[in-house]
Each structure stands twice: as C-alpha cells, then as structure tokens.
Amino acid sequence: MDHMDHIRNKLALLPDLPGCYLMKNKEGTIIYVGKAKVLKNRVRSYFTGSHNGKTQRLVLDITDFEYIVTSSNMEALILECNLIKKHMPRYNVQLKDDKTFPYLKITNETHPRLEVTRRVIKDKAKYFGPYPNAYAAQQTKKLLDRMYPLRKCGVMPKEVCLYYHMGQCLAPCEKEVQKSQYEEITQSIAAFLGGGHEAVKKDLQQKMQEAAEELYFERAKELRDQIMYIEALMEKQNINTADTKDRDVFGYAVDKGWMCVQILYMRQGKMIQRHSSAFPFYGEAYSDFMSYVTQYYSDNPALPQEILLPDAVREATAEDQPVKASSTPAAAGEADGAEEEPETAQEAAQREAAAAEAAAAGVVDAAGGAAAIQEWLGVKVLVPQRGLKKQMVRMACENGRVSLDEKFRLIERDEERTSGAAFSLGQSLGLESLHRIEAFDNSNIQGTNPVSAMVVFIDGKPARKEYRKYKVRTVQGPDDYETMREVIRRRYERVLKENLPMPDLIVVDGGKGQISAAVDILENELGLFIPVCGLVKDVKHKTAQLLVGDPPEPVGLARDSQEFYLLQRIQDEVHRFAITFHREQRGKSMVTSKLDSIPGIGEKRRKLLLKHFGSLKKIKEASIEDFRPLSIGEKLAGQILEALRDEEPVLQEDGAEHS
C-alpha cells in the first residue's frame, strides 16, 4: 500500500471537530502545522482540487499526517502556536517570538532602571512596546533618561556619578530614596509611553516658563530641549481617532506565493509607527495570517486595548484604491461607531460568500479567529466592516500590497540590471553572447596550503551550486602562474570529458602573466578557444582594470558603470570563496601538525581525538578525565595538554603573533 492509499484511509476517519493537523514527509518529519474549524473538511482540501504552486509543493512532500482534536477554536489557535514553536516546520510562517521586537522595560528592583530589551519574561517588570525597530526604542529611552531621574548604572557605584550632577539620577548609591518617589516616576513614564505625551509636554512648557521668569535660563533651555525631543519623536503620525485607545491594526496582502503583514501601532488614538514583515507562505492565506498574529502575541505582556483584524480573503485580494487617512471630526466620529456607512448588499453578499467558502474548507473564519484571540488574550478584537476602523485596516492592507509590489519590482529591476550588465560587458568585449562566466582565483600564504577556487555567474548572477574548489597538487612554493596552469588544465579537461557547459568568458585574477598561462593551456594543450580576461587590482586591493586580448590590453570601462560593478562582484566573490577555502585547509593542517608533533599520537589517534572533541580548542580545554573514553591514560593525556598549551600564540606589542 503506497502512502496515498494510507492517506485516503485516514481521511475517511477524520472527525467533524476543531483541532490541529500535523503534515509529515517520508522521513516522518513534521513539515507543516495547521488549525481547522472542521478537521475533516480542512485536511481533505489539501488532497482534492487544484492548488497554487507553493501549496502544491507542500502537498507533494506530504506522505502522512496526524491530528489533535480540541474543544474550541481558541484551543486550536494556541495549540497551533505551541506546535510551530516546538517543531519549527519548514512550510509554516514562523515569527521569532518577541525577539524581533524591542521593548522598553522598567525593572522590578529596589532602585528601578529603564532599559531596552528584546527578552520578555515574567519578572514583575513593566514592559512597553513593542517598538518596530531598535532605533525607535533607543531614541525613546534617551528622551526618558533626560526627563526622569531613574538609576542608569548596572552596578551601584560607591559615590555619585555624572548623571546625578546632570539631574538624571536620584543617587540611591549615597542618598535614601523613598519608594513613593519611584512609584511617581514609574507612573509618569507609564503615562508618557501610554500616549500621554501631550500632558507631559504642557507640564514641561509651564516649568520652562517659570524657570525663564525666575531667570534660570540654563534650566529653561534644558526644558525647551526636552519639549523639542518630544515633538520630534511624536510627530510621526498620520491618522487620528476621537478616543484615546491603544490599538494594533493588522492588514495583509498576498501575491506570487508571498505574504506581507503590516501592523499599524496606534497609541492614545494616534498612529505613531508601522511594522512590516514579508515572507513566503504555503498554506491557506488567512490561516497563515492568523498564525502570524497568534505567534506575535505569544508571551507578549505589552498588549493594546484593542486589536483590529482584516476580513478573510476580501482584504487581501481587494483591488481598492489607497485610502488616505483623515483626521477630520467626521472621520473621528466614525471610529466611535457614529455616522458609519451602512454595509451595501453587494458587500454583505461578498462577505457571506467568503465566510461560506472558508467554512466549507474547514478554515477558521475571520469572526471565529477574532473571537478566539479575544478569549485568549482578554482584549477586544474586532473585524471592522465599515467606518474609520475599516479604513485603518484597509490602509494596513494597502501598505502590504504596496510593499509586495515594491519587492517584486525591485527584484525585476535587479534582474534587468544584472542581465543588462552582462549583455553590455559582452558587447564591450566584442562577444555575441555572455551567458556564462567562470572566474578563478588562487590563494596561499608564502606558498603554504596553495588552493584555487572557481565561481560561476550566469546572466550576471552567481550560480553557487556550480562553484568549485581545488587543492593545488603539482606546484611547490608561491608560483601563481603555474598554479593557474594546473587549475585551468584540471577544470577544462573535466569539462571536455564530461561534456559540461562551456563558458562564454573566463576571468582570471591577475594581469598579463595569468592570462598568458590560461590561454596557453586552453589553446595549445586542450584546443579550446575561449576568451580570457584578467582583472587587475589597485594598491587598495580594489578592482582597477580589465585586460583582454593577445597581447592583453586594457578595456575602457567607466568605473561607475553596471559592467564595471559586475566585474567587481565577480572578483570579490571568487576572492572570498578562495580565501575561505584556504583558511579551512590552513586550519586543518595546523591542527594536524600540532597533534602529529606529540610523541605517542599517530594518524589513528589524531583522527579519534578530533572526532571525539570536535576541535583543537576543545582538546586544549579538556581535563585528563575527558581522555579516558578514548583509552588514553593519564600520562599521555597530560603530555597532549602540555604540548598544546605550550603552543599558545604569544601576542607582541605590535599585534603580530608568534607560535
């Protein structure tokens, strides 16, 4: 019985209940986790009907599945989140918990501090955020450090520091600070971060005026600077609502197998930041979107008062015109439910059809998903159908659509530029076609561990699967020309023997000598007439000139041209690849020589030691007891450790190393 017969038998036994399903590949590895309102309908939908390219790829990898029944949609939502975290399936949308987002934290200490953290734990501290990027969090902390005198130092000093003299610390290292003072500061920071910056700004303006009237001009200037910081930090807002609720507004868009999720952060009724995430998805679009939302709020203590979600299908595929945010009183009234536009019959029919389609497939619908998240988080979760809240969600979706469109346009533009650069370079060299370029570079240090490397560029883009490494066999010492001859010979003998694709151009790292060596082997030994060019570097080790012909002559290319940029990329890439390979070989030879120099260690024991410990560093750090599983006695173990530690590099004053 093949795996499809096995799957069909299991599909017939699926229950009409909510739950999670786990798709497995032929190795038994879990490759996708999903949730369903009706397991039977949802799981069956993978094996019936047609799918887009990405979902089809997932289905082709499935050879078995299992499922877990839950008592509600909410349980299925949470279980899916936990299963994704545990198994990290390759086809699932995966958010790296809260590590992606920085938070501001007021520590739960006797003398609290304000800090930026990406690690959210249950430590009774107060967390604010998340912030879309570290810069926004650091700038906010910088402002608050100026305004509120919380402790700045990690370890309490023995005497007051500069922060105390600047009025930015209460000096708990020398003075007794009442708990009530800290509570007042903490409440002020919480009010500010909760969106009450207008009240703080008014208070600072009043204090600045008082300081100026009393002729304390330096203090007035400090207060004025703080007001300016607040205005600069909080001016990034482009939509207002009449209420002062903190909201997270979600939207998403899908195209070409990719999804872009946008989050608009609204604090105190004002939009202050936006976060964007784009990633490939393989399952049903709305289910994967809800999976993202669930993971986003997993272990997140800094919850808003309200979460707005888009409707399933319609929001992601609607071809609406961008909706401009409005801050007029009428628009603000819509946010509270007043003067909202009634839903048209067509909109109602579309929504019901989308819901019916989702229900038929067993997908958790928008209303059900919102209700499950609301029950789980304990905050209000809405799927608005009209009014300003609907506009806000549509704005988030439109941002997602624009981001995806921009992404694909940039990819297309990059492809056009790279293929165009290859075509133009071919014209400059007088070649009819420049589809395939193979480039070579040699690497050694004073002749030790000589290696060479080849990289391949097709239509101006690296083809990394075709890169090759070469250990130089016949050349002794630092002879770059002979190394080039050996490697060219080995490469193109194999190309002829195995009928591999011929390059349109061979690029060597070097000047006339390297070009002549390559041409000699190709034409006089192998009978191949492939154009060869050389890339010469300047004193700063940057690509300076392209040489071609016999005898080689420089080709005039503008240094700011796409053709010259392509050559730079090729030279940098082959040099990087060769250097990396050389370091690997040099590291291995150093390990081998150090172990071989120890009496009592032969090839067999050397391999055994490296296999057991993993590296020379770990052998050095081992204790004598760690050698017993290898049947190495105390005496030999001591000799090994003594010999390796005696060879520790000693740093000179100028930074050079001697062994």
* Residues 442 and 449 sit within 8 Å (Cβ to Cβ): no
DSSP code at position 628: G
Residue 214's pLDDT band (boundaries 50, 70, 90)?
A: confident
* Residues 112 and 92 sit within 8 Å (Cβ to Cβ): no
Task: Please list, in sequence order, all residues whose beta carbon lies within 8 angstroms of the beta carbon of residue 356, skipping any fewer than 6 positions away.
Answer: none
Q: For domain 3-94, give the CATH number.
A: 3.40.1440.10
CA–CA separation, 372 and 299 (whole Å)? 16
CA–CA separation, 643 and 638 (whole Å)? 8
| pLDDT number for residue 659 | 31
Residue 456's pLDDT band (boundaries 50, 70, 90)?
A: very high
Of 195-209, 495-509, 534-548, the range with the highest mean pLDDT is 495-509
CA–CA separation, 626 and 631 (whole Å)? 10
User: Does 337 have pLDDT greater than 50?
Assistant: no
CA–CA separation, 277 and 252 (whole Å)? 9
User: Does 53 have pLDDT greater than 80?
Assistant: no
Q: Which two tokens stand for residue 131?
A: 């912030």
Task: Give the residue with greater pLDDT, 239 vs 595.
Answer: 595
Written in H, E and C, the secondary structure of 66-114 is: EEEECCCHHHHHHHHHHHHHHHCCCCCCCCCHHHHCCEEEECCCCCCEE
CA–CA separation, 67 and 582 (whole Å)? 50
Residue 493's pLDDT band (boundaries 50, 70, 90)?
A: very high
Span of 14-23, 34-43, 184-193, 259-268 with lowest mean pLDDT: 184-193
User: Does 357 have pLDDT greater than 80?
Assistant: no
| pLDDT number for residue 160 | 79
DSSP code at position 313: T
| pLDDT number for residue 100 | 55
| CATH 3.30.70 correct for 241-317+357-416 | no
Q: Which residue has the tokens 């001859």?
A: 485
Q: How many CB atoms lie within 10 A of CB 238?
A: 13
| pLDDT number for residue 522 | 93
Burial category of 617 from C-beta neighbours within 10 Å (exposed 0-12, middle 13-18, buried 19 and up): exposed
Residue 186's pLDDT band (boundaries 50, 70, 90)?
A: confident
* Mean pLDDT, the chain, integer: 77
| pLDDT number for residue 339 | 40
Share of the chain above pLDDT 70, in %: 76
Burial category of 515 from C-beta neighbours within 10 Å (exposed 0-12, middle 13-18, buried 19 and up): buried
Residues facing residue 259 across a β-bridge: 254, 279
Mean pLDDT, residues 544-566 taken together: 81
DSSP code at position 626: G
| pLDDT number for residue 16 | 87
CA–CA separation, 542 and 622 (whole Å)? 44
Give the burial string for 250-284 (b: 16+ CB within 10 Å, else e).
bbbbbeeebbbbbbbbbbbbbbbbbbebeeebbbb
User: Does 173 have pLDDT greater than 80?
Assistant: yes
Written in H, E and C, the secondary structure of 388-446 is: HHHHHHHHHHHHHHHHHHHHHHHHHHHHHHHHHHHHHHHHHCCCCCCCEEEEEEEEEEC
| pLDDT number for residue 21 | 92
- 372-406 pLDDT, tens digit each: 889 888 899 999 988 888 888 988 898 888 888 87
* Residues 511 and 537 sit within 8 Å (Cβ to Cβ): no
Residue 334's pLDDT band (boundaries 50, 70, 90)?
A: very low
Q: Which two tokens stand for residue 298?
A: 């997993």
CA–CA separation, 527 and 398 (whole Å)? 60
Residues facing residue 537 across a β-bridge: 543
| pLDDT number for residue 381 | 93
CA–CA separation, 149 and 164 (whole Å)? 8
CA–CA separation, 453 and 577 (whole Å)? 7
Q: Which of 513, 495, 496, 511 is nearest to 454 (CA)?
A: 495
User: Does 128 have pLDDT greater than 80?
Assistant: no
| pLDDT number for residue 622 | 82
* Residues 649 and 616 sit within 8 Å (Cβ to Cβ): no
CA–CA separation, 460 and 425 (whole Å)? 10
How far are the Cα atoms of 22, 220, 311, 382 from residue 253, in angstroms, in the given order?
A: 26, 49, 12, 19
Mean pLDDT, residues 186-212 taken together: 77
Residue 489's pLDDT band (boundaries 50, 70, 90)?
A: very high
User: Does 340 have pLDDT greater than 90?
Assistant: no
| pLDDT number for residue 331 | 31
Residues facing residue 279 across a β-bridge: 259
Residue 87's pLDDT band (boundaries 50, 70, 90)?
A: confident
User: Does 429 have pLDDT greater than 80?
Assistant: yes
| pLDDT number for residue 8 | 84
H/E stretch holding 468 reads strand 468-471
Of 59-73, 220-234, 516-530, the range with the highest mean pLDDT is 516-530
Q: Which of 499, 550, 547 is nearest to 523 (CA)?
A: 550
Q: Which of 375, 407, 374, 370 is nearest to 385 (CA)?
A: 370
Architecture of domain 435-584: 2-Layer Sandwich (3.30)
Residue 238's pLDDT band (boundaries 50, 70, 90)?
A: very low
